[in-house]
Amino acid sequence: RKGNAQHLSVKDSLMMALSKATPDTLKVNLLLDIGDSYQFDDNDPEAAKAWYKKAGELSEQLRYHTGTFNYLFYYLDILVQQGQYDSSLWYSRQAIALARQLKDTARMMQGNFTAGVSYDGLEDYTSAIPVLLQAADYYESRQNGKSAGLCYNEMQLAYRHLAQYDNAIQYGKKAVDIYHQLHLSAQSVSPLSNLAGSYLAIYQPEKSLPLL
């Protein structure tokens, strides 16, 4: 997914291609790309959602499952950013159900992660933890440390809100360690600050300050 400084010319070319496109998978991808342009280049999430929805509707007509998954995950990504966690959870469940039907484990785990984020947003932390753990285990088994770290960071937050600080620290450390091993400094900022907060919650500023 992209961001492009020359978004006007890019969008114009996408619109021109769309005007000539027949209702097939190429048109679905054009609709998704136009939504991307509105989301990332214009910072217009509502317009992006409208284009994503068009892509989803056409994908359903074509039974184009890749298009349907992209629509669901792109759409719910905006919902999460907007704090509409009830809706993002609903879309996550739609993605999980379709992935289960198609025996698509990778997308099922992606749905688990977005469901976990949505549960965290809804303050339903006990529901967030098992789906996040399942996703983390899957990503670890596939040597996808970056995605596993995202899950562990979310789990840390869930456990901290449940006042289970030992577990929060355990998973916070796992996230930090993964990102350091992979030399992903930017990604480690969030788990580092969250881990610092977990130590502060148990009155251990001497461990929190170096992290900060």
What's the rounded mean pLDDT across residues 105-114? 98
Determine the Cα–Cα distance for residues 108 and 164; give it in Å rounded to an integer: 27
Digit-coded pLDDT (tens) for 55-102? 999 999 999 999 999 999 999 999 999 999 999 999 999 999 999 999
pLDDT for res 20:
82
Residue 113 has pLDDT above 60, yes or no: yes
Any idea what the Cα angle at residue 82 is, between residues 58 and 146, rounded to 5°? 80
Mean pLDDT, the chain, rounded, equals: 94
In this structure, the chain runs to a length of: 212
Is the confidence at residue 205, as pLDDT, over 90? yes
pLDDT at position 16 = 84
Q: Give residue for tokens 């999460």.
A: 80
Whole-model pTM?
0.89
* Predicted pLDDT at 7: 45
